[in-house]
Amino acid sequence: MAPDVQLEKEQRMGFFQTILVALVFLPLLMVASHNFLQNFTAAVPRHWCYIPVGDNATTEVTGDQLKIYVPMDGNQEPDRCLRFSTPQWQLLAPNGTSTNATEPCLDGWAYDRSVFNSTIITEWNLVCGQRTLKDFAQSIYMVGVLLGALVLGGLADRLGRRALLLWSLLQMGVMGTSAAFAPNLAAYCAFRFFSGMSTAGVILNGTSLTLEWIPSQFRAMVSTILSCSLTLGQLFLAGLAYAIRDWRQLQLASSVPFFLFFLYSWWIPESAHWLIVNHRPEKALRNLRWVAQINGEKLEGEGISLETLKQEEESSGTSQHSALELFRTPPLTSVLPVPSNRFSNSFSFFHLALDLQRFEGISIFLVQLIFGAVDMPFRMVVAVIANRLGRRLMQAACLVLGGLFILASVPVPQGESRAFGQVSIVAASVCGACCYCYLSQRTVSGRQTGTGFVTMMARLGSMVAPVVLVARQQFPFLLLVIFGVAPVVSGIVAGFLPEMHNVPLLDTIEEVENRLLGFPAFLPVAFCTFCKCTKKCTQPH
């Protein structure tokens, strides 16, 4: 743990650490914009069957014209998917009635462009029989995030955090820009898939690379600051989408900055922790000296030398680890609730932030702004509370609180349950911030693999939620119960997590095993034996 020794010796945030946090904060902010981008690029405007006569602009039609050609639905709004087979001129007369003979929109649709000039919905007519393709496009993006968490997380443990961060930034810039020029929905989904992979790479590697350069006493605060970028990204997206109402221009504006992030990220040095574990102590020492020089400190003669780092390398081991490491090492099974917590966290809450149009009567830009604004103060407070109460209690309390508010909204009419949804979003955000504090405590050789696995579970939860929501019309109350019970159960299980408050970063499996001995494991002895544990299981199961 030589790099931690140097950082803990200073006991403060140096100039390098401050600049590093700022440089990583910006791409994380823009990544958050991509997460929620389809709230605006795939917004569904009011629409009705195209009227062949006098509808040049598709919106400049009179109420009488709509009444003649388009039937009204139960809310006395123009039906979105049907039109009269023949014009119903008699409806212009008082108490006129129609023949009720209707047909699908054979000539296409007209769209209300008062809010958005263009979306993927209006460009490719993803309405009525094609409306599920909108959710398919969002799911494709989430699949990309899931695969990116699995692949890029593991590769970072082998190739380095810096290399994968640079690659992810470049890929996001190229794929996001390409999506803005997609000629059809298939190409758009393909580009969004690779953008999703990049999203996972930027978040995982940017966060881990930063935290490995931060002294442990500031790690909770920095982790919370970085998580706030995801909140500020929502606020930024609301303003950007309000200013740019064309989906292609909005997609382009949110993607081009990643080329700038790619260029300046060449300045960021590789993690000294990772370099030591991967037999590169000379490079680690150069990086430590360079960082010390930027901070105005002297490294040589203060306890760290090439010989010290080589000794650290020999004691750190050389093996690479996969997500199965959680199951092979009995003490590590004590942190198994972390991926389950992230799954239930995303499963129960993430769908709220991706369906802003459910809040009818409120501007979609205002709803996006409110979601981010309500979230921000609580994310800032979580670091202070986590430093006093610890990550375990904070995460458990937030999961239980969020689930209880969802359960409390079951008997409340849908139009009056917005406050419960807001509290659930806040609880989910705080829980996510606490979860990443746990992820940073994994070993260097397995930290990104473990983080990628946990992020993959989170994205799996966000993918399962829309599938479950298909049945919301038939079983609305049952679904709310499911979404509420899941985080409550996970919150109770989170109470068994080991506390990581003020714990230095650990470099080897052995160090983690020693640290976690005494905490309850979540696997039986027989399974541990079957998986060939790296250390004899001495814990009660």
219-249 confidence digits (pLDDT tens): 777 877 887 887 889 899 999 999 999 999 9
Reference 493, options 332, 385, 344; nearest CA is 344
Residues 6+ apart with CB under 8 A from 285: 304, 305, 306, 309
More confident residue, 520 or 246: 246
Domains in the chain: boundaries: 2-43+131-494, 47-112
Query: How far apart (Å, rounded) are the C-alpha atoms in residues 407 and 417?
Result: 11
Helix (H, G, I), strand (E, B) or coil at 111: strand
Q: Over 70: is that where the pLDDT of 423 sits?
A: no
Token pair for 447: 């930290």
Q: What is the 8-class DSSP label of residue 304?
A: -
Helix (H, G, I), strand (E, B) or coil at 43: coil
Residues 6+ apart with CB under 8 A from 74: none
Q: Over 60: is that where the pLDDT of 432 sits?
A: no
Residue 236 confidence (pLDDT): 93
Residue 229 confidence (pLDDT): 85
Reference 331, options 510, 89, 125; nearest CA is 510
The residue-averaged pLDDT of 157-177 equals 92
- Identify the band that residue 270 occupies on the pLDDT scale cut at 50, 70 and 90: confident
CATH, domain range 2-43+131-494:
1.20.1250.20
More confident residue, 288 or 55: 288
34 close to 199: Cβ distance less than 8 angstroms:
yes
Cα angle at 176 between 253 and 211, to 5 degrees? 90
More confident residue, 190 or 512: 190
Helix (H, G, I), strand (E, B) or coil at 442: coil
- Identify the band that residue 193 occupies on the pLDDT scale cut at 50, 70 and 90: very high
Helix (H, G, I), strand (E, B) or coil at 529: helix
Consecutive H or E run containing 102 = strand 102-104
Task: Average the pLDDT over each of 153-157, 176-180, 373-377, 412-416 and give the range with the smallest value.
Answer: 412-416
Residue 365 confidence (pLDDT): 92
Residue 50 confidence (pLDDT): 84
pTM for this model (two decimals): 0.76
Report residue 467 CA to chain centroid gap.
Answer: 18
Q: Over 90: is that where the pLDDT of 78 sits?
A: no
Residue 520 confidence (pLDDT): 46
Task: Average the pLDDT over each of 74-83, 388-397, 440-449, 460-469 and give the range with the smallest value.
Answer: 440-449
DSSP 117-178: SB-HHHHHT--GGGTHHHHHHHHHHHHHHHHHHHHHHHHHHHH-HHHHHHHHHHHHHHHHHH
Query: How far apart (Å, rounded) are the C-alpha atoms in residues 114 and 216?
Result: 51
- Strand-pairing partners, residue 47, are 111
484 close to 375: Cβ distance less than 8 angstroms:
no
Angle between helices 444-468 and 132-159 (to 10 degrees): 170
Reference 235, options 111, 123, 366; nearest CA is 366
% of the chain surpassing 70 pLDDT:
60
Token pair for 150: 């699995």
Residue 11 confidence (pLDDT): 46
DSSP 394-434: HHHHHHHHHHHHHHHTTTS-GGG-HHHHHHHHHHHHHHHHH
Residue 353 confidence (pLDDT): 74
Q: Over 50: is that where the pLDDT of 529 sits?
A: no
How confident is the prediction for the chain on average, in pLDDT? 74
Q: Over 80: is that where the pLDDT of 166 sits?
A: yes
Place of tokens 């009011």: 46
Residue 37 confidence (pLDDT): 92
Reference 169, options 197, 140, 135; nearest CA is 197
Q: Which one of 59-73, 96-110, 338-352 scores highest in mean pLDDT?
A: 96-110
193-209: b (≥16 Cβ within 10 Å) or e: bbbbbbbbbbbbbbbbb
Instruction: Write the CA distances from 275 to 196, 346, 453, integer angstroms.
Output: 28, 33, 22
Task: Average the pLDDT over each of 13-17, 79-83, 320-324 and give the range with the smallest value.
Answer: 320-324
Q: Over 90: is that where the pLDDT of 10 sits?
A: no
Task: Average the pLDDT over each of 208-217, 301-310, 420-429, 471-480 and give the range with the smallest value.
Answer: 301-310
The residue-averaged pLDDT of 350-357 equals 73
Q: Over 90: is that where the pLDDT of 377 sits?
A: no
Task: Average the pLDDT over each of 391-405, 426-440, 522-536 and give the range with the smallest value.
Answer: 522-536
Cα angle at 209 between 208 and 214, to 5 degrees? 90
The residue-averaged pLDDT of 500-509 equals 56
Residue 93 confidence (pLDDT): 66
The residue-averaged pLDDT of 479-504 equals 73
Where does 160-246 have alpha helices with state H?
161-180, 185-211, 216-243
Task: Average the pLDDT over each of 90-99, 125-134, 151-160, 213-222 and give the range with the smallest value.
Answer: 90-99
Q: Over 80: is that where the pLDDT of 398 sits?
A: no
More confident residue, 13 or 368: 368
Query: How far apart (Å, rounded) are the C-alpha atoms in residues 1 and 4?
Result: 5
Where does 212-363 have alpha helices with state H?
216-243, 247-253, 257-264, 272-277, 281-294, 306-316, 325-328, 337-353
Longest CA–CA separation in the chain, Å: 96
Cα angle at 203 between 228 and 33, to 5 degrees? 60
